[in-house]
Structure 1
Amino acid sequence: MDENSPVFAIAMAAELAEMHPQTLRQYDRLGLVSPQRTAGKSRRYSLRDIAQLREVARLSAEGISLEGIRRIIDLENQVTGLQARVRELETALSDELLNRPGSRVFAAGSAGDVVSMRHGTRTQRRTEIVVWRPTPR
């Protein structure tokens, strides 16, 4: 089952999140956790929604206001979207490099500018520190 599939009715979602159904309705009105709706307008929660409800409860127990929690969730969702976009761009770049071997090669100059290089050449070794963090897969 996909974590984004809206399968749980409000009673089951409330039980899984260990909350009262009215709390889920309140969080929906506030925009903290907005489940998908069926054609009859009833709420359907996904596993991701339930995890988000648990996160709201945890943050609330730590004393963070509901508005602060909403902002945190918005930022986390934005980061998730940006990470997906980066993976998409990395895939597109990788596909392009595989489909066009011998094409132009680029490197970053010392001032952060883009430098075009011939295929098969290397940049001069420098003494600058390079910070690199592999992307999780």
Structure 2
Amino acid sequence: MLRVPAGLDESSPIFSIAAAAELAGLHAQTLRQYDRLGLVEPARTAGNTRRYSMRDVGRLKQVQLLSSEGVSLEGIRRILDMSDENRELRERVRELEGALADAVMQQQGRRVFAAGHAGITTIRAGARPVKPGQIVLWRDRPQG
């Protein structure tokens, strides 16, 4: 099993241009062109040497696939930009959903009900029903 050193992940810039080109199945000059066009922008060392991450290599493969399907480099750039924006928006939605869930759980005055064989009873917010098999329903207080 391959062990990844601590502090490294898929975005860690660890590959030289030669290694990244080999991993992506491309020529190093092609990687330089993609960098100039902004399709794949590797990190740079203090000496201005390109360093590619696994994420960059995956993006290179995606560019290669789209190019082989006849998509122009400008079209590929637009597709990648929209994919990046979509990913960022999805991450933001997840963050906002978490914040909203936290805010709802901390609201005062929430009413929580449990339904069981004995009928419907009110339970404390955040508590579980006493008997297994009961259904819990919560409703916000009506506003206004």
TM tier, shorter chain? 0.7 to 0.9
Q: 1:17 is matched with which residue: 8, 14, 24?
A: 24
Aligned length: 108
CA-atom RMSD, angstroms? Answer: 1.9
1:59 aligns with 2:80: no
Higher CA-based Rg: 2
Partner-residue secondary structure (3-state), 1:27:
helix
* Counterpart for residue 106 of structure 2: 99
Q: TM-score, normalised by structure 2?
A: 0.69
Identify unmatched segments of 5+ residues in structure 1. Answer: 104-117, 122-137
Q: Secondary structure at the match of 2:15?
A: coil
- Per the alignment, residue 51 of structure 2 pairs with 44
- Structure 2, unmatched stretches of 5+, are 1-7, 111-138
Q: Distance in 2 between matches of 1:101 and 1:51?
A: 47
Matches for 1:65-104 after TM superposition, within 5 Å: 65-102=72-109
Tell me the TM-score normalized by structure 1: 0.73
Q: Could you tell me which residue of structure 2 aligns to residue 110 of structure 1?
A: none
The Cα shift of 1:80 comes to 0.6
Tell me which stretches of 4 or more aligned residues in structure 1 moved more than 3 Å: none
Decide which structure has greater strand share. Answer: 2
Report sequence identity in percent: 59
Structure-1 separation of matches of 2:89 and 2:106: 25
